[in-house]
């Protein structure tokens, strides 16, 4: 058993989920997200400058392993914006979580034998060792932040996600209602959740979007022209201009429809319900195949498997032919993804910044083979050719 996320929003239910959600919501308010744009842009420019250095030493046209590069970038962004840290400081945590994904894939490919996961085989001991090390490193990062807060009256990162959770933990230390507080285990769980969900899924989404823009150069040109019109003279997206990137928004939505990072979603029935003619008893875990909903011709028409961003031109609610929500990348209802706006904002900043400096092409070595590796991602390496954009 590999616990990729635990004690976090993705697994909590009932009052615990409601409290964690209320605690973390302020970290994703629009005004807070706008303040993160310069950080996202700064991290992106650091990556692009490294690409430019490589370009100066090689031919003007060169290949970049986009997926690997973007995983580092999105990890750096979530570390800076949510935890007052950086990719360099949290590098070992991210690398260990990648190892957990690999281990989860191995477990998923084996037959399920009840009780086997409790037997201390060499494989299971390795799984437990990786999980323990992640918890130790995460706890050290949290405790370091707590010590910094005690030394400094003013915490410069006080209202980021980690700061909000530490405030909730302080409620417990002050003897306030435990239902309105977090313990260290809760904070470790949420930190692991956001480290995993906050960078792996976004990196995958941006990678698929760049691949589609490379495959459809006419859309790439249109999105680039829009970015040139919207972005300021320094060619960096500004907080107040992202909402004007309309073409990029519909391209992102279509990419998320065709390649949802989470191909499956689970929900538990909290009471007896009836789905059509089928009775679903309380406590039943339902597996919802998001990717099947997104490619179903009953909802999206005969061109459901085609790249047609214009279907989202009037918004996600009018993109399908269904009266019920079938665009489920960020879930739906009360438990929709808390990081939806964060992820879309980050994707816009990164993609616009790249397109303003590079033309993207699919490498001849690339073989299109998506695989559901806990997250729907490209199998093997994901290369694109990057050619300096006309400035």
Strand segments (E) across the chain: 61-65, 264-268, 273-275, 278-280, 285-289, 358-362, 370-373, 375-378, 383-388
Q: Which residue has the tokens 């998320």?
A: 256
Residue 373, classed as helix, strand or coil, is strand
Nearest to 106 by CA among 85, 90, 80, 127: 127
Residue 337 marked ligand-binding: yes
Q: b vs e for 110-144, b when ≥16 Cβ sit within 10 Å of the residue's Cβ?
A: eeeeeeeeeeeeeebeebeebbeebbebbeebbee
Q: Cα(first)–Cα(last) distance of the chain, in Å?
A: 51
Q: Which residue has the tokens 């992106």?
A: 44
DSSP result, 111-130: ---TTGGGS--HHHHHHHHH
Nearest to 224 by CA among 348, 354, 355: 355
Residues flagged as binding site for heme: 337
Residues flagged as binding site: 337
């Amino acid at each position: 058993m590999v616990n990729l996320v635990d004690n976090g929003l993705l697994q909590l239910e009932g009052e615990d989920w409601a409290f964690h959600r209320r605690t973390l919501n302020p970290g994703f308010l629009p005004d807070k997200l706008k303040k993160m744009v310069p950080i996202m842009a700064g991290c992106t420019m650091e990556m692009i400058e490294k690409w430019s250095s490589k370009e100066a030493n090689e031919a003007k046209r060169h290949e970049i392993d986009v997926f690997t590069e973007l995983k580092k970038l999105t990890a750096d962004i979530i570390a800076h914006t949510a935890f007052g840290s950086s990719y360099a400081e949290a590098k070992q945590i991210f690398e260990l979580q990648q190892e957990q994904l690999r281990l989860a894939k191995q477990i998923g490919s084996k037959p399920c034998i009840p009780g086997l996961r409790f037997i201390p085989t060499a494989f299971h001991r390795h799984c437990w060792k990786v999980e323990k090390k992640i918890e130790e490193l995460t706890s050290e990062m949290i405790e370091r932040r707590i010590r910094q807060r005690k030394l400094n009256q003013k915490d410069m990162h006080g209202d980021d996600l980690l700061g909000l959770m530490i405030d909730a933990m302080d409620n417990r230390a002050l003897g306030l209602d435990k239902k309105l507080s977090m313990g260290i285990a809760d904070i470790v769980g949420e930190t692991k959740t956001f480290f995993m969900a906050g960078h792996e899924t976004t990196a995958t989404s941006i990678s698929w979007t760049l691949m589609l823009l490379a495959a459809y150069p006419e859309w790439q040109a249109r999105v680039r022209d829009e970015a040139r019109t919207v972005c300021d003279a320094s060619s960096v997206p500004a907080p107040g201009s992202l909402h004007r990137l309309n073409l990029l928004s519909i391209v992102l939505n279509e990419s998320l429809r065709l390649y949802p990072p989470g191909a499956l979603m689970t929900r538990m029935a909290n009471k007896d319900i009836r789905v059509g003619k089928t009775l679903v008893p309380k406590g039943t875990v339902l597996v919802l195949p998001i990717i099947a909903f997104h490619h179903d011709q009953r909802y999206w028409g005969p061109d459901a498997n085609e790249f047609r961003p214009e279907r989202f031109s009037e918004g996600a609610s009018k993109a399908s032919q269904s009266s019920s929500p079938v665009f489920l990348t960020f879930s739906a209802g009360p438990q929709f993804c808390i990081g939806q706006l964060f992820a879309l904002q980050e994707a816009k900043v990164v993609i616009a910044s790249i397109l303003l400096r590079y033309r993207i092409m699919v490498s001849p070595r690339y073989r299109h083979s998506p695989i559901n590796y806990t997250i729907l991602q490209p199998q093997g390496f994901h290369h694109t050719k990057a050619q300096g954009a006309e400035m």
